[in-house]
Copies of this chain bind each other. A is one copy, B any other.
Amino acid sequence: MTRFYDERLDGEIATVDRTALKAAIVAVAPDLTLLDREEDLRPFECDGLSAYRVLPMLVAMPSTLREIESLMRVCFEHDVPVVTRGAGTGLSGGALPLEKGVLLVMSRFNRILELDADARIARVEPGVRNLAISEAAAPYGLYYAPDPSSQIACSIGGNVAENAGGVHCLKYGLTVHNVLAVDIVTIEGERLHLGSEALDSPGFDLLALFMGSEGMLGVITEVTVRLLPKPEVAKVVMASFDDVERAGKAVGDIIAAGCIPGGLEMMDNLAIRAAEDFVHAGYPVDAAAILLCELDGIEADVHADCERVRGLLEAAGATDIRLAQDDAERQRFWAGRKAAFPAVGRVSPDYYCMDGTIPRRELPGVLKGIETLSAEYGLRVANVFHAGDGNLHPLILFDANAPGELERTEAMGGRILELCVEVGGSITGEHGVGREKLNQMCSQFNADEITLFHAVKSAFDERRLLNPGKNIPTLARCAEFGAMHVHHGELPHPELPRF
A interface list, Cβ under 8 A from B? 1, 118-120, 163, 165, 169, 174, 176-177, 186, 188, 190-194, 196-206, 208-209, 211-213, 217, 228-229, 231-232, 252, 256-258, 297-301, 303-305, 308, 357-361, 389-391, 420, 424-430, 432-433, 437, 441, 444-445, 448-449, 452-453, 455-460, 471-472
Contacts and interface: CB of A to CB of B under 8 A. Distances in A.
Given A188-B1, A208-B209, A449-B192, A391 B202 contact: no
Q: Which 5 A-B pairs have the closest CB atoms?
A: A208-B208, A455-B459, A300-B304, A229-B258, A198-B357
Given A186-B1, A252-B118, A426 B460 contact: no
Most chain B CB within 10 A, of A202, A424, A428, A457, is at A202
A235 to B, nearest CB: 14
Contacts of A452: 192, 206, 459-460
Given A208-B209, A258-B298, A200 B445 contact: no
Nearest to A420: B198
Nearest to A211: B205
A104 B209 CA distance: 28
A200 B428 contact: yes
A472 to B, nearest CB: 6
Contacts of A427: 202
Given A118-B256, A301-B301, A458-B459, 14 more contacts: A119-B361, A192-B448, A196-B425, A197-B359, A200-B429, A202-B433, A203-B441, A203-B453, A205-B209, A205-B211, A205-B212, A206-B452, A228-B258, A298-B304
Contacts of A433: 202-203
A471 to B, nearest CB: 7
A456 B198 contact: no
Contacts of A449: 192-194, 203
Contacts of A258: 228-229, 231-232, 298
19 contacts: A1-B186, A119-B359, A176-B208, A196-B426, A198-B357, A198-B390, A198-B420, A200-B357, A200-B428, A201-B426, A204-B457, A205-B208, A209-B456, A229-B258, A297-B301, A301-B301, A455-B458, A455-B460, A459-B459
A357 B202 CA distance: 10
A119 B424 CA distance: 12
A475 to B, nearest CB: 14
A184 B51 CA distance: 39
A8 B449 CA distance: 27
A44 B303 CA distance: 55
A228 to B, nearest CB: 8
